[in-house]
Chains A and B, each alone.
Chain A
Amino acid sequence: MIGSGKYTGPDIKTILAQKALDTGAELWQQRLDKVSSNDVERALACPAGTYSFERLLAFVSPAAEDYLEQMAQLAHLLTIKRFGRTIRLYAPLYLSNYCVNSCRYCGFNRQSKYERIRLTVEQAVDEADIIATEGFKDILLVSSEDIKFISIDYLADLAKRLRGKFSSISIEVYPMSIAEYGKVFEAGIEGVTLYQETYDRAAYAYYHPQGPKSDYENRLTSPDRLAAAGMREIGLGILLGLTDWRAETLALGEHAHYLVKRYWQSHVSFSFPRLRPACEVERSQFEHLLSDRNLVQMITALRLCFADAGLVLSTRERAQLRDHLITLGITKISAGSKTSPGGYSGHSDALKQFEIDDNRSPAEVSEMIKSHGLEPVWKDWDKAFIKD
């Protein structure tokens, strides 16, 4: 176990409950509306990059919208200082779209009546080979909740096969136990992304009506387990569009702050998945969709509270927007992504998790990064960190 020995503070369930961040969306909306421009100015005057709940509250408030340019400038400078003039690149590899869950927003929803596909380890290695030839050294293995096939052993086995080709391997799959996280960590997986989707219990219950994912608390405590197992990267996120993003960001900030305090050797990063059209999922069903302006506010607010957090952006977002976002806090982006299993080899038109909006090739994205005076970084980890 790493880092958790002497922590005596409250756990994340208690922290959220004490602040009513898991039940009190309306209460927090009222509180956010009361933030004044004076509060925002005070928050901006504090040293950028350190967390306090009050500052995050100020930065995500409606009042802060008038200070967006100032926030963006600060976020830009802070990101350069901490990360340099660089952007990391990664590629997702989708392993399966069979799913036991029925999430109302997801194309992999078990009720979607479309062709399903699973890659064998051998097929996954073939797909990864294509990704490697595009220059990627950082790969994210993604799967729906298909634990019978994409098992712990499958992931460990695949990681061992990929270690020679990739310097960094992470997963975005389903919650595991400490022992299971430990097993895939030993096999060479160094990071885990697991979005809570929403911290609001009622909304969570509505959007996840069936299957193991309907267990809010099991998901909420997964980052504890993966950090305790030694994982280096903890990827957090909320699915933007399910509920009001402002209150959700407060919960997200508290979650990250808690993890940083308790598991001091793991690095936290945030992703910004906005709801995208997916198979049998209509955007009009969702009333909380974020505008570009909202997204920029959220990104810069988190940067101004977490100087060293990784901020990750996928190809869900359109090219022109991504080109701007990499200059105001984002540190890592995907490129050339295929969101259906087998998508890289082109042998499959299988069901996609969501539609992508930036269809440029990795080489084109790399050129775009350079044109902003930034260095595309393909490798920022090494297989030598993994024990043989």
Chain B
Amino acid sequence: MEKLMIANRKFSSRLLVGTGKFASCEIMAEAIEKSGTEIVTVALRRVDIENENDDMLSAIDRNKYLLLPNTSGARDADEAVRLSRLARAATGINWVKLEVTPDPYYLLPDPVETLKAAEILVKDDFVVLPYINADPILSRKLEDIGAATVMPLASPIGSNQGLKTRASLEIIIEQSNVPVVIDAGLGLPSHAADAMEMGADAVLVNTAIATAAEPAEMAVAFKLAVEAGRRAYESGPAAADKRASASSPLTGFLRDDKK
């Protein structure tokens, strides 16, 4: 399996994991471990970033995982930038998963403010991984201004609906020059495998693992699905076709004539 490369850093796992909604930090830590992930995202609103003994932060081994702070809860670019800077000042981490979600219900990302915040943060030497709707033009614009990835959603966050934005995701994957990480709405391992087979570079999963009855087992299931999907993609899958394709063609006898 090819390595995933984000901002010149290599990762063996193509599964990113979120830390919200778990029943306890121990359960979260076990799920992270079992998922084989190397990138773990944490909401800055949820942790006390300046406190090394914070329950959640201390459950994530920074030597093993890249801690990816996210700006969940930010309503506009200003707030997202402020949160990112605070996190960097406290931790030295200059990676940020940029989330600007002014609607508190569906938590859909604001394209205008996300682009604005991304520009500011990139100029300020952040490695920016923006969460966006599945918008191919926005993806290109973010790529142009120096975003390290794009993270389009598969369906509304936490909805477990799977790849509802498939048509747009396919365009983004086709056009993108930065890794495409499919971020939200993947509810089942089969959704993740599907995304990887489509050619996504990675997926991020949180709710589907955290709210499963057995989060650690579900983390393993996602790990396997992401690997299976990626391997299938790299193996050049046979094209799906509605028409039949016989393994012994009916016109095979004409072969000699053609020569």
Interface SS, A side? loop
Q: Is B45 an interface residue (CB 8 A)?
A: yes
Q: Which stretch in B60-68, B79-87, B120-128, B136-144 binds the other chain?
A: B79-87
What are the residues of chain B within 8 A of A382 when measuring CB–CB?
44-45, 49, 73, 83, 86
Q: Is B146 an interface residue (CB 8 A)?
A: no
Q: How distant is the Cα of A382 from the Cα of B47 in the complex, in angstroms?
A: 8
Q: How distant is the Cα of A375 from the Cα of B56 in the complex, in angstroms?
A: 11
Q: Is B192 an interface residue (CB 8 A)?
A: no
Q: Is B250 an interface residue (CB 8 A)?
A: no
Q: How distant is the Cα of A235 from the Cα of B102 in the complex, in angstroms?
A: 18
Given known A80-B211, A81-B160, A84-B207, contact A381–B24 (CB-CB < 8 A): no
CB distance from A102 to the nearest CB of B (A): 36
What are the residues of chain B within 8 A of A387 when measuring CB–CB?
78, 82
- Number of chain A residues whose Cβ lies closer than 8 Å to a Cβ of chain B: 29
What are the residues of chain B within 8 A of A370 when measuring CB–CB?
24
Q: Mark A250-272, 1 if CB is under 8 A from B, else 0.
A: 00000000001000111100000
Q: Mark A363-387, 1 if CB is under 8 A from B, else 0.
A: 0000000100111010111101101
Q: How distant is the Cα of A267 from the Cα of B107 in the complex, in angstroms?
A: 11
Residue of A nearest to B75 (CB): A265
CB distance from B226 to the nearest CB of A (A): 22
Q: Is A355 an interface residue (CB 8 A)?
A: no
Given known A81-B158, A84-B210, A308-B105, contact A384–B44 (CB-CB < 8 A): yes
Residue of B nearest to A264 (CB): B103
Q: Is B25 an interface residue (CB 8 A)?
A: yes
Q: Which B residues, 36 to 65, have Cβ-Cβ distances below 8 Å to chain A? A: 44-49
Q: How distant is the Cα of A196 from the Cα of B23 in the complex, in angstroms?
A: 34
What are the residues of chain A within 8 A of B102 when measuring CB–CB?
264-265
Q: How distant is the Cα of A134 from the Cα of B23 in the complex, in angstroms?
A: 21
Q: Which A residues, 240 to 289, have Cβ-Cβ distances below 8 Å to chain B? A: 260, 264-267
Q: Is B21 an interface residue (CB 8 A)?
A: yes
Contact in complex: A375, B211 (CB < 8 Å) = no
Residues of A within 8 A of B (CB): 80-86, 137, 167, 232, 260, 264-267, 307-308, 370, 373-375, 377, 379-382, 384-385, 387
Residues of B within 8 A of A (CB): 20-25, 44-49, 73-75, 78-79, 82-83, 86, 102-105, 158, 160, 207, 210-211
